[in-house]
């Protein structure tokens, strides 16, 4: 398989879908070729703009994603889509209406769609997502949309992998409060009140603006706008795309893009370092050393901190 690597990379660079899919599978499986693959891709990284899309189930994430795909495609951009959400239509577990909306993109050669499982990878999503992004970047994607369900830890990790994070909220139902509780307000670069034709949209917009003004969102020199959309009709999608462009321009001009990417690479390398340490301690000679250390701790010959510090230094 590793003999195919240069051919696969070549194929991905030419935008061939099967080669791209194959490389992402290698990353997802934590295949032994991944380090060589990343080394191969290292020099071509950093061109595509990554856009995270998060929010509770039912808020309209996939409809917004679909609208953004259409809008970006009409500018001639190549698009990657990563769905880190088992209930996303991109992952197959979808309502019929959603699936039909996706069909139009599935046959578009300029759109690469991939659903990702959020578990079991070396270093977790914090390490896997940047690797997959590197593949899509090499494949010439101008933008990569990452759709995550706004529950649990995964959306925070995935937001950490995006240049621009959209937080979606629906009117009423205390959704913005839920978002605040779940800590996703802090990660939003742009807030989207979708289904803005519904009752309570004004109140939700006000609520979000208050939260932002009160500093619930951290001040980094960018004031997150609150955009209204009705994604099912396309209303507000142009405004949203303009806000995304504004944010990207700000990222570049302020130097924030460069520092975000270094911060992300720090997180990625740290997650990989932890995974590598665990792997070294769970197999072979490292595992024998760990068991010997554990036996010494049980019998009191050594304290656990000293044993652990020694294992780290020997790893």
- In the bound state with its own copies, the residue whose beta carbon lies nearer, of 18 and 266, is 266
Of the chain, the end-to-end C-alpha distance in Å amounts to: 29
- In the bound state with its own copies, the residue whose beta carbon lies nearer, of 95 and 312, is 312
Residue 147: both structure tokens together: 């759709």
- In the bound state with its own copies, the residue whose beta carbon lies nearer, of 16 and 261, is 261
- Residue linked to tokens 């006000």: 206
- Residue 109 C-beta: closest distance to its own copies, Å: 28
Report the candidate in 156, 137, 145 with the shortest Cα–Cα distance to residue 67. 145
- Residue 75 C-beta: closest distance to its own copies, Å: 26
- Residue 30 C-beta: closest distance to its own copies, Å: 11
- Residue 231 C-beta: closest distance to its own copies, Å: 33
- Residue 309 C-beta: closest distance to its own copies, Å: 6
Binding stretches for its own copies (CB under 8 A): 34-35, 38-46, 127, 130-131, 258, 261-266, 268-270, 272-278, 280-282, 290-291, 293-295, 297-298, 300-309, 311-313, 315
- In the bound state with its own copies, the residue whose beta carbon lies nearer, of 65 and 129, is 129
Residue 309 CB contacts under 8 Å (≥ 6 apart), including other chains: none
Give per-residue burial for 245-261: e unless 16+ CB within 10 Å, then b: eebbebbeeeebbeebe
- In the bound state with its own copies, the residue whose beta carbon lies nearer, of 203 and 265, is 265
- In the bound state with its own copies, the residue whose beta carbon lies nearer, of 41 and 190, is 41
d(CA 78, CA 100): 21
- In the bound state with its own copies, the residue whose beta carbon lies nearer, of 92 and 304, is 304
Report the candidate in 166, 175, 157 with the shortest Cα–Cα distance to residue 57. 175
d(CA 205, CA 208): 5
- Residue 260 C-beta: closest distance to its own copies, Å: 10
Is 101 within 8 Å of 109 (Cβ atoms)?
no
Report the candidate in 141, 117, 183 with the shortest Cα–Cα distance to residue 44. 141
- Residue 247 C-beta: closest distance to its own copies, Å: 20
Residue 214 CB contacts under 8 Å (≥ 6 apart), including other chains: none
Rg (CA), the chain: 22
């Amino acid at each position: 398989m590793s003999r195919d690597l240069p051919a696969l990379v070549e194929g991905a660079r030419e935008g061939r879908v099967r080669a791209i899919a194959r490389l992402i599978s290698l990353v997802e499986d934590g295949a032994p070729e991944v380090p060589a693959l990343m080394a191969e891709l290292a020099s071509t990284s950093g061109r595509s703009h990554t856009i995270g899309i998060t929010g509770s189930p039912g808020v309209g994430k996939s409809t917004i994603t679909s609208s953004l795909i259409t809008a970006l495609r009409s500018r001639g951009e190549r698009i990657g889509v990563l769905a880190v959400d088992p209930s996303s239509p991109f992952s197959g577990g979808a309502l019929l209406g959603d699936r039909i909306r996706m069909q139009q993109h599935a046959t578009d050669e300029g759109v690469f769609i991939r659903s990702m499982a959020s578990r079991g990878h070396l270093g977790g999503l914090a390490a896997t997502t940047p690797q997959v992004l590197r593949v899509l970047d090499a494949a010439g994607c101008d933008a990569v949309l990452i759709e995550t369900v706004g529950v649990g830890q995964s959306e925070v990790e995935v937001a950490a992998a995006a240049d621009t994070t959209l937080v979606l909220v629906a009117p009423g139902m205390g959704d913005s409060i839920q978002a605040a509780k779940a800590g996703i307000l802090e990660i939003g670069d742009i807030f989207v009140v979708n289904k803005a034709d519904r009752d309570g949209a004004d109140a939700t917009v006000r609520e979000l603006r208050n939260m932002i003004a009160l500093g619930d969102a951290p001040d980094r020199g960018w004031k997150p706008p609150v955009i209204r959309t009705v994604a099912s009709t396309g209303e507000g999608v142009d405004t949203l795309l303009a806000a995304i462009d504004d944010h990207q321009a700000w990222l570049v001009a302020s130097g924030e893009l460069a520092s975000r990417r270094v911060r992300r690479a720090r997180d990625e390398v740290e997650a990989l370092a932890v995974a590598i340490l665990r792997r070294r301690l769970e197999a072979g000679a490292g595992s024998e050393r760990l068991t010997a250390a554990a036996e010494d701790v049980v019998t009191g010959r050594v304290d656990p901190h000293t044993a652990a510090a020694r294992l780290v230094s020997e790893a």
